[in-house]
Amino acid sequence: MTSSTTPALAIEHLRRSFGGLPATDDISISVAAGERRLIIGPNGAGKTTLFNQITGDIRSDSGMISLFGEDVTRLRPDQRAHRGIARTYQIITLFGRDTLEHNIVLALLGLSRARWSMVRGLAPRSDFRDRARDVLAQVGLRELAERTVAEVSYGDRRRLEIAMALAQAPRLLLLDEPLAGLSREERATVQQVIASIPRAVTLVMIEHDMDIALELADSVTLLHYGRVIVQGSRAEVVADPRTQEVYLGH
Amino acid sequence: MLAQLSNSNFLVIQTLNSLSLGGLLFLLAAGFSLIFGLMRIANLTHGSLFMLGAYIGVSLLEAGVPNLWLAALAGGVATAVLGGLFERLVLRSLAGNSQGQVLVTLGVSFIVADLCLMLWGGDPLPIQTPESVRSPLRVAGFTFPAYRLVVVALAIVVAIGLYVLIERTRLGAMIRAGVDDMPMARAVGIPVSRLFTIVFCLGAGLAGAGGIIGGPILSAYPGLDADMLPLALIVVILGGVGSLAGAFIGSFLIGFVYTFGSALVPDLAYVILFLPMILVIAFRPTGLFGRMGA
Amino acid sequence: MSRTAWLAGGLLALFALPLVAGEFYLNLASQMLIAALFASSLNLLVGYAGLTSLGHASFLGAAAYLSAWLSLHLGLAHWASAPIALAGTVLTAAVFGWIALRATGLGFLMLTLALSQVLWGLAYRWVGVTDGDNGLRGLTRPEPLGVAIESADRFYWFALLVCLLAIGLIALFVRSPFGAALRGTRDQPRRMGALGFDVWLIRWLTFVIAGFWAGVAGLLFIWYHKYVHPSALSLQASAEVLLAVIAGGSGTLAGPVVGAVMVVFLKNFVSAYVERWNMLLGFVFLAIVLFLPEGLVPGMRRLIRRVKS
């Protein structure tokens, strides 16, 4: 298989149940390199569980996940991160007492060999600091670099979530409801940030705000009760009667 | 060692000793496990309550309480009340702060140990075996200390009682719901706060009564708390947190390991005691019967 | 005055102490130094990894017992027994950490407590090796670089040098990239995994390193007392050092040092008058948890900030 035809993310027959209830049930998805895939579905459809299975936070009962042709099903989350997966969280998961800059530095450190260094101080290392500030500038947070997370607005935290993922220069980026809880202005800002992510990064996104999400997406997967109901190009899925059924309950 | 093992009288006596120690451990560990499972509190005063029970028993019997069973009942109620007060007045104010709670129970365990030393002195105080079961039973050429058999029977009765309470009553259903999923239990309107106090009192009462019932075998002495707490800990880690069946099996298992270990390799008995726990943790971190991580 | 000036002044005062203090106070100061290093090592777990251990006495005790046994039974000289004892302690920490880190939170706490009881049981009951309740006695102090440290002032200087070096290295460790990662695993373990950090390995390495520094404190302990008793491995010993960390302020460098000084002071002074160390220990625990949960050092810092503003 050549790299041009190898999907960035291939999921085959993935399953996970909690106490007998399937959260994800026989899910198969293939996302091409550079694609923007939107995952939609009602609450409890299994979207976040699927993300957690892709990142390795939740073990899968069965099925396979491969990243650019490499089977990662049995790898730990940190091992998958080193193979190019990065993610954001629906429920904001940041280091609240630390500065925005330190949050980004941790993201940079996660993939650097320097994370094992136990002697040389971290604070004086300008290499990490400079790169962190560049990343913050990308999402328009450069001026807030020295504020702590607790001091900045909710919208800024959403952007910081994305910035931490971008700092890792991922091959596959998973965005879990990046627009959740944002005002109209903040949505526009975050939309811009997402739109500016280079095509070298493959994007998979869960989002409820269809207006913006559909604008960003090439293709859509609709989940319902843990199963894939429809998937295909944006236009196909939107036009499909099953989509109408799931969302309007006809 | 082999000669001892082939001696049938040795085997019978040690088996009985194992069973009675297992029974006492169950009285202690059942409450510890329920409290941990439901309230997420590692109650380090549990050994202290056992010791306090034993001392209260000594005093009650000296004060003229007619027999050990009544003393156990009264002592159990006394420790249950003390436990309830401790839960309401101190632990409650630290709800959600599990590290704070465990440190407070640790602090109180030191205070109780010193108070007992002040009140009852440093010498071991024996508790007489009740008159009615003092004479040994003779069956098929073996002599059994009858009291130990009674302790085993009592532990089994308590186990059945707890089983019925947990599995067959409304209160038990609420406790199970709380152990399985606390936020959900709260959400469906289970009076979690009252449940906590009830379970804490129950656990404290069982531990205190256990101390008195164990009196004729162990007696009351300074350090009894520190001797019993690690045993309860091992039982609960071994059996699985919040599991009654786990506490039951674990108690008797540890009863056997400790008794035979002490008889056969006295130097290393205490270390051997921890081996089952370490093996179980290595291969099954939730314990034998546990559903959640310890 | 600047921070550096304060630090230099403090160091000068510490080194000058033997010029003004008598033997009793110097010995007390030496014990405080040992306790401070011991508490600083536990702080790596409690404060920086967010893992509360109730079995840290295992490692101080293991190093003390190993060193004592090696010199009494094998007749090893200090230059040989010290590194072997440290290696044995590190190995013990590696095994204990592997078991205890099967859990986190209260499970970790109970496992560390249970594991420490194993060593306590060995020290108490394995009479053939440890001489049980008698403890191991008849030991000597080393002569680092040919200098005898028998006298109170010499030993104090020696302990001060070792502790300053150790706590300095601990400070570097905490401020290193690894230290930042460690704090990350305390605050957001799942996020750290997603960022590429092996959370379990970071915790385990920290457990082993904390065991190593506790082992160094254990060597100082055995050289100071020239005697070790099973009580060095008891739950009470683990509780005392945990109290020092929490009372002083976990997760700060100064906190455990302040806490250790306080605990040694209370134990040696106050309990000499009231003879109720256990009860005092219990009440201090209660008071700290209920009224000063963040510890003395962060509490004082906040107070100073409030006064300034």
Q: Report pLDDT digits (tens) over C132-178.
A: 888 898 888 888 888 888 899 999 999 999 999 999 999 999 999 99
Residue of A nearest to C190 (CA): A57
Spell out where chain A has E strands. 9-18, 21-31, 36-40, 62-67, 70-71, 85-87, 172-176, 202-206, 219-224, 227-233
Whether the pLDDT of residue C127 is over 90: the answer is no
Place B187 in a pLDDT band, splitting at 50, 70 and 90: confident
CB contact, 8 Å: C16 with chain A?
no
What was the pLDDT predicted at A76?
Answer: 95
| Average of per-residue pLDDT across A223-230 | 90
The predicted pLDDT at position A102 comes to 95
- Position C257 in a domain: no
Chains with 3 or more CB pairs under 8 A to chain B: C
Task: Please list the residues that pair with A173 across neighbouring strands.
Answer: A86, A203
> CB A81 to CB C179 under 8 A?
no
Number of domains, chain A: 1
Q: How much is the average pLDDT of A95-124?
A: 91
Most confident of B11-20, B25-34, C43-52: C43-52
Supply the pLDDT for residue B262. Answer: 86
B104 in reach of chain C (CB within 8 A): yes
Residue A3: pLDDT over 60: no
CA distance A165 to chain C (A): 8
Q: Is residue A173 part of a domain?
A: yes
Distance from CA of A187 to the nearest CA of C (A): 24
* Domain residue limits at C154: 21-232
pLDDT 10s digits, A44-92: 888 999 999 999 999 999 999 999 999 999 999 999 999 999 999 988 8
pLDDT in tens, C253-279: 999 999 999 999 988 887 777 778 888
DSSP track, C105-143? HHHHHHHHHHHHHHHHHHHHH-HHHH-GGG-B-------
The domain tally of chain C equals 1
Q: How high is the mean pLDDT of chain B?
A: 87
pLDDT at B259 over 80: yes
C169 CB-contact burial (10 Å; exposed 0-12 / middle 13-18 / buried 19+): middle
Range list of β-strands (E), chain B: 137-139, 142-144
What pLDDT, on a 0 to 100 scale, did the predictor assign at position B200? Answer: 93
Q: Mean of the pLDDT values across residues B144-166?
A: 89
Using alpha carbons, select from C176, C161, C216 the residue that is nearest to residue C37: C216
Answer whether residue A22 is part of any domain: yes
pLDDT above 70 as % of chain A: 97
Residues of A in contact with C294 (CB under 8 A): none
> Which chains sit next to C, with 3 or more Cβ pairs under 8 A?
A, B
What are A12-48's pLDDT values in tens digits? 999 998 877 889 999 999 999 999 999 998 888 889 9
| Alpha-carbon dihedral sign for residues C144, C146, C151, C152 | negative
CATH of the domain at A166: 3.40.50.300
Task: Please return the burial class of B220, using the count of CB atoms within 10 Å of its CB with bins 0-12, 13-18 and 19+.
Answer: buried
Mean pLDDT over residues C73-78, rounded? 88
Burial class of residue A195 (count of CB atoms within 10 Å of its CB; 0-12, 13-18, 19+): exposed
User: Does residue A113 belong to any structural domain of this protein?
Assistant: no
Give residue B294's pLDDT: 35
Residue of B nearest to C116 (CA): B230
Verify whether the Cβ–Cβ distance C193 to A121 is below 8 Å. Answer: no
Domains of chain B listed by start with CATH number: 2-283 (1.10.3470)
C-chain CB neighbours of A93 within 8 Å are 188, 190-191
Q: Is residue C270 part of a domain?
A: no
| List of chain A residues whose C-beta atoms are within 8 Å of the C-beta of residue C198 | 76, 78
For residue A173, the chain C residue with the least C-alpha distance is: C194
What confidence score (pLDDT) does residue B289 get? Answer: 67
Does B140 score more than 80 pLDDT? no
Mean per-residue pLDDT, A179-207: 92
Residues C292-304 pLDDT 10s: 888 888 888 888 8
Taking contacts as CB-CB distances below 8 angstroms, the residues of chain C near B111 are 278-279, 282-283, 286
User: Does residue A79 belong to any structural domain of this protein?
Assistant: yes
- Confidence check: pLDDT of C49 > 90: yes
Partner-chain contact A109 C177, CB within 8 Å? yes
pLDDT of res. B288: 66
Report residue C269 as tokens: 């002074």
- Is A170 an interface residue toward C (CB < 8 Å)? no
Please check whether residue B4 touches C, CB under 8 A: no
Chain C CB contacts of A52 under 8 Å are none
Residue A82 — φ and ψ, nearest 5°? -70, -15
Number of H helices, E strands in chain A: 9, 10
Name the residue in chain C with its Cα closest to that of A52.
C194
d(CA C229, CA C219): 14
Q: pLDDT tens digits, residue range B44-82? A: 999 999 999 999 999 999 888 888 899 999 999 999 999
How does C150-160 read in b/e, with b if 16+ C-beta sit within 10 Å? eebbbbbbbbb
> Which subunits count as partners of chain A given 3+ CB pairs below 8 Å?
C
Longest Cα separation, chain B = 61
Query: From C179, which residue of chain A is nearest by alpha-carbon distance?
Result: A118
- Residue C95 domain-assigned (yes or no): yes
Asked if residue C274 lies in contact with residue C284, where contact means CB atoms within 8 angstroms, the answer is no
Using a CB-CB cut-off of 8 Å, the residues of chain C touching B285 are: 102-103, 107
What does the DSSP 8-state code read for residue A179? T
pLDDT at B183: 82
Res A208: pLDDT:
87
pTM for the model stands at 0.92
Residue among C178, C181, C193 whose CB faces A77 most closely: C193
Give ipTM to 2 decimals.
Answer: 0.91
A78, C198: Cβ pair inside 8 Å? yes
pLDDT of residue A67: 95
**pLDDT value at residue A248:** 66
A124 in contact with C, Cβ within 8 Å: no
Mean pLDDT over C106-125 rounds to 90
Closest CA–CA distance from residue A15 to any residue of chain C (Å): 21
Is C51 part of any domain? yes
- Return the percentage of chain B with pLDDT > 70, whole number: 95
Structure tokens at A123: 């604070």
Average confidence (pLDDT) over A140-152: 93
Q: Which residues from A are below 8 Å from C172, CB to CB?
A: 118-119, 121
Contact status of A127 with chain C (Cβ, < 8 Å): no
C208 in reach of chain A (CB within 8 A): no
- Domain of residue A185 covers 9-96+155-248
